[in-house]
């Protein structure tokens, strides 16, 4: 805590602005040593007033490295509650690394991952729920996920936990009264009051658990596995859902052996879609491994898209081998262009509709043609309806989640 730390706070790469952040007792002095408001000369530490933006130059001895904006912030009115200086330079890997090296040469050390946020926590500027929210804001995959994280960062969960704590303290005081002053406690039914408080606290804790499960969808993405026999159009369907060519599509069965995964945002909700290997009986060792991996993804998925095509005959045993019955599933009948023409009329030489086991009778069914992009919009709507139902869009769910602490912070944050 006595060290002065520094890091590049923006992602590497070329761009308009890159930020170097310095925090600690020597932050102002280091800034004064390397920053000049003119092309020659140095500023004294006392000349850097807090919360002002200075235009000038970062210098290495007599050499100008870059034209910058410098923002000094005296603690505790800063992100870490320490003295903080932010240098806004042009964003480029070489220029930012060179400025950082100059800062480190003046006595700062490179920060550890998440150390700026850790210092904010240790200085009691934020609590652990707000610290986790920083990572969630950075990694938000949708507007809804950002809304959750921003509310948590503002202390929504902190306040709710504090309210529960106050209720439990009140309950403890009732218990103490019954123990220490039993004669005075006879006039009030403290047992009933205590039960009422405990029930309310337990209900809120159960809501926290459900909200956490719902919010994990927003943070990590709803997992969808596309499965079925070989050559039923799994890769084509994935490409349609992603609206890009991610999976290789050929007429040869067994093209997909390793699961292929990608993320997509549908109606503000993040999804992670996996195209799995076709499930069938085989003696090929590579295909067997691919099928086992496919089953693992099916087991882990929040929703399974089970693809069949016209002419399919599927037994109860074959269906049971593919995935557990309790898994949330949509039966997708693909290649409906073989049955109907583009105007919806039946083709004369059409194949029969799939013959499926009784276990498929209660599954929601969608008819699509991935080849001609028919029924894909309706399938997306069905996916969102089954997975979301208005629960995790941010409209009805409470804005509070507590997950992990100080995980996945980037250097400089």
Q: What is the CATH number of the domain that holds 168?
A: 1.20.120.430
- Structural domain includes residue 380: no
DSSP-assigned letter for residue 44: -
pLDDT (0 to 100) of residue 406 = 34
pLDDT (0 to 100) of residue 405 = 33
- Structural domain includes residue 10: yes
Query: Mean pLDDT score of the chain, rounded to an integer?
Result: 78
142: tokens are: 């949708």
- Structural domain includes residue 383: no
- Structural domain includes residue 283: yes
Task: Collapse the DSSP code of 305 into the 3-class scheme (helix H, G, I; strand E, B; otherwise coil) and give the result.
Answer: strand
CB of 80 closer than 8 Å to CB of 123: yes
pLDDT (0 to 100) of residue 411 = 35
pLDDT (0 to 100) of residue 155 = 61
pLDDT (0 to 100) of residue 395 = 33
37: tokens are: 């408001």
Q: Residue 228: is its pLDDT beyond 90?
A: no
Closest CA to 75 of 42, 51, 46: 51
Are residues 177 and 271 both part of a single domain? no
Q: Which of 109, 125, 141 corresponds to the end of one domain?
A: 125
Q: What is the 3-state secondary structure (H, E, C) of 396-412?
A: CCCCCCCCCCCCCCCCC
Q: Which residue has the higher pLDDT, 164 or 140?
A: 164
Are residues 136 and 200 both part of a single domain? yes
Are residues 139 and 207 both part of a single domain? yes
Are residues 47 and 72 both part of a single domain? yes
176-188, pLDDT tens digit by residue?
777 776 666 555 5
Count of domains forming the chain: 3
CA distance 70 to 82: 16
CA distance 409 to 369: 43
Mark out the alpha helices in 186-284 (DSSP H runs): 190-220, 234-242
DSSP-assigned letter for residue 201: H
**Residue range of the domain that includes 102:** 5-125
Average pLDDT of 230-239? 88
95-112, pLDDT tens digit by residue?
999 999 999 999 999 998
Are residues 239 and 353 both part of a single domain? yes
Q: What's the CATH number where 339 sits? A: 3.40.50.300
Are residues 308 and 197 both part of a single domain? no
Q: Supply the DSSP string of 110-149, one letter for each residue.
A: EPPTTHHHHHHHHTTSS-HHHHHHHHHHHH--SHHHHHHH
- Structural domain includes residue 289: yes
Choose the weakest-confidence range: 197-206, 207-216, 242-251, 364-373. 242-251
CB of 72 closer than 8 Å to CB of 28: yes
Assess whether the previous peptide bond of 76 is cis (omega < 30° from 0): yes
CB of 153 closer than 8 Å to CB of 130: yes
- Structural domain includes residue 385: no
**Confidence grade of residue 189 (pLDDT, cut at 50, 70, 90):** low
Question: Which contiguous run of DSSP H or E holds residue 104?
Answer: helix 93-105
Are residues 367 and 412 both part of a single domain? no
Q: Residue 238: is its pLDDT beyond 50?
A: yes
Query: In sequence order, what are the beta bridge partners of 110?
Result: 6
- Structural domain includes residue 172: yes
Q: What percentage of the chain carries pLDDT values higher than 90? A: 24
Are residues 71 and 92 both part of a single domain? yes
Average pLDDT of 22-37? 92
For the chain, what is the radius of gyration of the CA atoms? 30
Are residues 225 and 368 both part of a single domain? yes
Closest CA to 237 of 305, 290, 301: 305
- Structural domain includes residue 384: no
Are residues 118 and 162 both part of a single domain? no
DSSP-assigned letter for residue 1: -
pLDDT (0 to 100) of residue 377 = 92
Task: Give the CA diameter of the chain.
Answer: 91
Q: What's the CATH number where 65 sits? A: 3.30.1360.120
CB of 21 closer than 8 Å to CB of 123: no
Are residues 241 and 319 both part of a single domain? yes
Total residue count of the chain as it appears in this document = 413
Closest CA to 22 of 135, 95, 101, 90: 101
Are residues 295 and 361 both part of a single domain? yes
* Helix axes of 128-139 and 156-180: crossing angle, nearest 10 degrees: 160
């Amino acid at each position: 805590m006595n060290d002065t730390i520094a890091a590049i706070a923006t992602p590497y790469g070329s761009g308009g602005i890159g930020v170097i952040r310095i925090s600690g007792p020597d932050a102002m002095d280091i800034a004064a040593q390397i920053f000049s408001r003119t092309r020659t000369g140095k500023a004294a530490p006392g000349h850097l007033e807090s919360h002002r933006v200075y235009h000038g130059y970062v210098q290495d001895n007599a050499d100008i490295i870059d034209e910058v904006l410098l923002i000094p912030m005296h603690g505790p009115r800063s992100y870490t509650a320490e003295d903080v200086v932010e240098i806004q330079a042009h964003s480029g890997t070489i220029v930012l690394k060179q400025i950082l090296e100059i800062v480190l040469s003046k006595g700062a050390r490179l920060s550890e991952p998440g150390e700026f946020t850790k210092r904010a926590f240790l200085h009691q500027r934020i609590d652990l729920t707000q610290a986790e929210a920083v990572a969630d804001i950075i990694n938000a995959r949708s507007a809804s996920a950002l809304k959750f994280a921003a509310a948590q960062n503002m202390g929504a969960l902190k306040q709710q936990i504090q309210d529960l704590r106050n209720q439990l303290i009140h309950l403890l005081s009732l218990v103490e009264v019954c123990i220490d002053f039993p004669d005075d406690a006879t006039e009030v039914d403290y047992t009933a009051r205590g039960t009422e408080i405990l029930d309310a606290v337990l209900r809120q804790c159960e809501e926290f658990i459900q909200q956490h499960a719902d919010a994990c969808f927003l943070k990590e993405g709803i997992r969808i596995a596309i499965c079925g026999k070989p050559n039923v159009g799994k890769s084509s369907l994935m490409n349609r859902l992603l609206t890009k060519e991610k999976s290789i599509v050929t007429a040869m069965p067994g093209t997909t052996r390793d699961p292929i995964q990608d993320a997509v945002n549908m109606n503000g909700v993040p999804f992670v879609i996996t195209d799995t290997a076709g499930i069938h009986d085989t003696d090929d060792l590579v295909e067997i491994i691919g099928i086992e991996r496919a089953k693992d993804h099916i087991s882990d998925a929040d929703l399974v898209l089970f693809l069949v095509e016209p002419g399919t005959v599927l037994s109860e045993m074959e269906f049971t081998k593919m995935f557990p019955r309790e898994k949330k599933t949509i039966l997708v009948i693909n290649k409906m262009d073989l049955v109907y023409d583009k105007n919806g009329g039946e083709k004369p030489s059409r194949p029969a509709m799939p013959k499926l086991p009784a276990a498929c009778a209660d599954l929601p069914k969608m008819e699509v043609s991935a080849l001609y992009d028919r029924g894909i919009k309706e399938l997306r709507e069905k996916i969102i309806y089954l997975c979301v139902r208005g629960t995790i869009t941010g409209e009805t769910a409470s804005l509070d989640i507590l997950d992990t602490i100080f995980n996945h912070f980037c250097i400089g944050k």
